[in-house]
Structure 1
Amino acid sequence: MKWSDFSKLVKMRLTLLVVFSASISFLIGSKANGHIDWINWIKLIVGGFLVTSAANCFNEIIEKDLDKLMKRTMDRPIPSGKMNTGQALVLGLGMGMAGTYLLGSLNLLTGLLSVFSILLYAFAYTPLKRKSPIAVFVGAIPGALPPLIGYVAAHERIDEIALILFGIQFVWQFVHFWAIAWVLDDDYKLAGFRLLPTGNRNAGSAIITFIFAIILLPVSLLPTIYGYGGYYVGGVSLVCSLIFLYQAFGLLRAQSVEAARKLMFGSFMYLPVVQLMFLFDFIGKVK
């Protein structure tokens, strides 16, 4: 199998974003403990990559017939015939078991959360995509688990910081995903996916997206509000959230694919900037 096919099978860009999010949260959890175990950090990165890749692999197995219908997915290895379902299943199971073992070796809670994320993403979110826009709410849970898993891998319990990290990524996902769904709505509908809040590109979907961008603003300030971050992360998060909110308002005003595309690209920048600032500010506070 070519690297390009493997990359498409595991949705490489999405997987790397997930691993990045988990690795930053691991470092935050490590600083909360007072030390960083770099071997465990590597285990988290490798294990997180494998678990996320497995979940994406199972997703593509389940949706193989639907992927043939959409322009952006028809060249994936399973629908294009470069890989059969049995091969993908063996690969997915192998990555899932290896990744879960690595994450479970850090602590039991990390391993359990990783299994839960695979099951919820592949076997709850995936089939719901054709039934109702509620799929986005279900998918936001496994989508927000990476920072929680990363933090717990280092800190071994779910505390306020873990819930804040989860909360920021959870709320961010709605704006991020609905922007993508707006851009790709025509393609999604070829496979029968109903992912926009109202099921269509209209004022209702734009309003709901804008509301979640508003909610994200105070949620992004929780590290500063609860004293885990200082004015640096608070200021950067406020500026990023206001820019994000402006882009969401642009979608509300124009209700166009171009406005949604700007919001989508804005979402790619938002999360890593806010998470990195939380890390840097938190390190400064615990020294």
Structure 2
Amino acid sequence: MKWADFSQLIKFRLTFLVVFSASITFLIGSKVNEQTIHEPINWYNWGLLIAGGFLVTGAANIFNEIIEKDLDKLMKRTMGRPIPSGVMTTGQALIIGMFMGISGVIILFKLNPTAGYLAVFSIFLYAFVYTPLKRKSSIAVFVGAIPGALPPLIGYVAAHPQIDEIGLVVFGIQFIWQFTHFWAIAWVLDDDYKLAGFRLLPTGKRDRISAIIPFIFAVILLPVSLLPTYMGFGGYIIGGVSLVMSLIFMYQAFNLMRTLEIKAAKQLMYGSFFYLPIVQLVLLFDFLGKK
């Protein structure tokens, strides 16, 4: 199997972003430990988190592709993936997915049982609840937002073994961000999604309501993104960056609501790609700078 095939099988870019998010919050959790129990960053455990997170996320994506193999054949965006294109059999993919999933969960359990349980829950919810629900109702987006927001929480508890207010805030930011992010993608790819019977836009079509709802979530994201500063574990730097990024995000969502154009949806989609890593990185640097 070529790297290109394996990369498509595990959705490498998505997996990379997920692992990046978890690795950032692991360092934030490590800083909390340093401040409370004077324990330095464990870089070995950081590496284990990256490995375990990569394996678990890749496994979830493989299970998703196995379940949707017949639907992937119908969409231009996915028909070239290894399973629908015939490069790989379902059985081969299942073996790879099981190996990656079990190995990743074991690694995360060794780091922290809470991280391991959250990883198992994430795989189950993404592959076996969200995936089949995509063809039935747009409520799938709400269900999918939960496993989509768990990586930063998993990364945090892997370093700081308890779910506290900081962990919940980093989870909340990514949870709310996902709605506007995902609906922007759904708006752009709606024609392709409909070939497979996916119902992902709020109303099932590109209309005003399907643009208003992502804008509402972009508005909600603004106060949520300011929680680190408001609650005192983030400084004014992250507050300022979050404010600016959220206002830009809101403007892009407003532009989609105003024009209902695919071009505006693409701008919002690309804006969402920049929003999350910038906010998470600045939160990390702001957090590391605090004594």
Aligned to 1:98: 103
State how far apart, in whole Å, the 1-side matches of 2:170 and 2:48 are.
Answer: 20
1:31-73 CA-to-partner distances (Å, cap 9, x unmatched) read 0000210000000000000000000000000000000000000
5+ long unaligned stretches in structure 2: 35-39
The amino acid across from 2:19 in the alignment is V
In 2, the alpha carbon distance for the partners of 1:146 and 1:18 equals 6
Partner of residue 199 from structure 2, selected from 194, 200, 209 = 194
Residue 10 of structure 1 is matched in structure 2 by 10
What is the CA deviation profile of residues 86-138 of structure 1, one whole-angstrom value per residue up to 9, with x for unaligned ones?
00000000000000011110011111000000000000000000000000000
1:132 aligns with 2:144: no
**1:211, CA displacement in angstroms?**
0.3
Deviation at residue 283 of structure 1 after TM alignment? 1.2
Matched, 1:257 2:262: yes
Residue of 214, 230, 233 corresponding to 1:225:
230
Q: What TM-score, normalized to structure 1? A: 0.99
Instruction: Tell me which amino acid in the other structure corresponds to 1:67.
Output: D
Q: Secondary structure at the match of 2:85?
A: coil
Letter in 2 for 1:111: G
Is 1:44 aligned to 2:46, yes or no?
no
Q: Write the deviation string for residues 216-250 of structure 1: whole angstroms up to 9, x where unpaired.
A: 00000000000011100000000000000000001
Partner amino acid, structure 2, of 1:197 = P
1:280 to 285, 288, 291: 285
Q: Verify: 1:69 aligned to 2:68, yes or no.
A: no
* Residues paired across the two proteins, number: 286
Residues 8-41 of structure 1: CA deviation (Å, up to 9, x unaligned): 0000000000000000000000000002100000
> TM-score if structure 2 supplies the norm length?
0.98
Q: Deviating runs (4+, > 3 A) in structure 1?
A: none
- How far apart in 1 are the matches of 2:24 and 2:104? 18
Mapping of 1:109-258 within 5 angstroms? 109-258=114-263
Q: Which runs of 5+ in 1 are unaligned?
A: none
Identity over aligned residues, as a percent?
A: 74
Question: What SS does the aligned partner of 2:179 have?
Answer: helix
SS in 2 for 1:79: helix
